[in-house]
Chain A
Amino acid sequence: MIFIMEPLFSYKDLFWQLTFREIKARYKQSVLGYAWAILVPLLNLLVLSIVFSYVFKVPTGNVPYPIFLFVALVPWLFLVNSITSATGSIMANSSLITKVKLPREILPLTAISSKMVDLLLTCIVLMIFMVIYQIKFQPTLALIPLIFIIQLGLITGISFILSATNVFFRDIENILGVFLTIWMYLTPVLYPSELIPSNLRILFFLNPMTPIVDAYRNTIIYGKFPNIGELGYSFIFALSLLVLGWIYFRKRAKYFADVI
Chain B
Amino acid sequence: MRNKVIIEFNNVSKKFKKGQKLYLKQALLDFFKPNVTEEFWALKNIDFKISKGESVGIIGVNGSGKSTILKLIAGVLTPTRGEVEVIGRIGPLIELGAGFHPELSGRDNIYLNGTILGLSKKELEEKFESIVDFAELSDFIDTPVKHYSSGMYMRLGFSIAIHINPEILLIDEILAVGDLGFQKKCIDKMNSFHSQGKTIIIISHSMDIVSTFCEKAILIDKGKIREVGKPEKVIAAYNKLIT
Chain A interfacial positions (CB closer than 8 Å to B):
13-14, 17-18, 21, 24-25, 28-29, 93, 95-102, 168-172, 175, 254-255, 257-259
Q: Which residues of A contact B116 (CB under 8 A)?
A: 14, 17, 96, 100, 102
What CA separation (Å) do A234 and B241 show in the bound complex? 64
Chain B interfacial positions (CB closer than 8 Å to A):
16-17, 20, 22-25, 27, 71, 74-78, 90, 92, 94-95, 98-99, 101, 103-104, 108, 111-112, 115-117, 120-121, 144
Tell whether A99 pairs with B24 under 8 Å between CB atoms, given A21-B104, A25-B103, A257-B76.
Answer: no
The answer to whether A175 and B76 touch across the interface, beta carbons within 8 angstroms, is no
Q: Which residues of B contact A29 (CB under 8 A)?
A: 103
Nearest neighbor of B109 in chain A, beta-carbon distance: A21
Q: Which residues of B contact A101 (CB under 8 A)?
A: 74-76, 90
Q: For A13, A97, A254, which residue has the most chain B Cβ atoms within 10 angstroms?
A: A13
In the assembled complex, the CB of B107 is this many whole angstroms from the nearest CB of chain A, namely 11
What CA separation (Å) do A255 and B22 show in the bound complex? 13
In the assembled complex, the CB of B131 is this many whole angstroms from the nearest CB of chain A, namely 15
Nearest 7 pairs of A and B residues by beta carbon: A101-B75, A254-B78, A169-B24, A17-B115, A99-B98, A25-B103, A14-B115
Q: Which residues of B contact A96 (CB under 8 A)?
A: 98-99, 116
The answer to whether A28 and B24 touch across the interface, beta carbons within 8 angstroms, is no
What CA separation (Å) do A175 and B28 show in the bound complex? 14
Nearest neighbor of B71 in chain A, beta-carbon distance: A257
What CA separation (Å) do A80 and B92 show in the bound complex? 36
Residue B24 contacts which of A24, A102, A175, A257 (CB distance < 8 angstroms)?
A175
Tell whether A259 pairs with B115 under 8 Å between CB atoms, given A25-B104, A97-B76, A101-B76.
Answer: no
Q: Which residues of A contact B23 (CB under 8 A)?
A: 169-171
What CA separation (Å) do A84 and B27 show in the bound complex? 22
Q: For B16, B27, B108, which residue has the most chain A Cβ atoms within 10 angstroms?
A: B108
What CA separation (Å) do A84 and B34 show in the bound complex? 33
Residue B27 contacts which of A100, A169, A258 (CB distance < 8 angstroms)?
A169
Tell whether A99 pairs with B103 under 8 Å between CB atoms, given A14-B115, A21-B112, A172-B24.
Answer: no
Residue B76 contacts which of A17, A24, A98, A168 (CB distance < 8 angstroms)?
A98
In the assembled complex, the CB of A6 is this many whole angstroms from the nearest CB of chain B, namely 17
The answer to whether A168 and B99 touch across the interface, beta carbons within 8 angstroms, is no
Nearest neighbor of A11 in chain B, beta-carbon distance: B115
What CA separation (Å) do A164 and B102 show in the bound complex? 26
CB-defined A-B contacts under 8 Å, sample of 22: A14-B115, A17-B111, A17-B115, A21-B99, A21-B101, A21-B108, A28-B144, A95-B98, A96-B116, A98-B76, A99-B76, A100-B92, A100-B98, A101-B90, A102-B116, A169-B24, A175-B24, A255-B78, A257-B71, A258-B16, A258-B17, A259-B20
Q: Which residues of A contact B121 (CB under 8 A)?
A: 13, 17
The answer to whether B120 and A13 touch across the interface, beta carbons within 8 angstroms, is yes
The answer to whether A13 and B98 touch across the interface, beta carbons within 8 angstroms, is no
Q: Which residues of A contact B77 (CB under 8 A)?
A: 257-258
Known: A29-B103, A101-B74. 19 other contacts (CB 8 A): A13-B120, A17-B112, A17-B121, A21-B99, A21-B101, A21-B104, A21-B112, A28-B144, A93-B99, A95-B95, A97-B76, A98-B76, A99-B76, A101-B75, A102-B116, A169-B24, A170-B22, A170-B23, A171-B23
Residue A24 contacts which of B78, B99, B108 (CB distance < 8 angstroms)?
B108
Q: Which residues of B contact A258 (CB under 8 A)?
A: 16-17, 77
Nearest neighbor of B108 in chain A, beta-carbon distance: A24
Q: Which residues of B contact A259 (CB under 8 A)?
A: 17, 20, 22
Q: Which residues of A contact B112 (CB under 8 A)?
A: 17-18, 21
Residue B99 contacts which of A13, A100, A171 (CB distance < 8 angstroms)?
A100
What CA separation (Å) do A25 and B112 show in the bound complex? 12
Q: Which residues of A contact B27 (CB under 8 A)?
A: 169
What CA separation (Å) do A99 and B111 show in the bound complex? 17
Q: Which residues of B contact A93 (CB under 8 A)?
A: 99
Q: Which residues of A contact B94 (CB under 8 A)?
A: 99
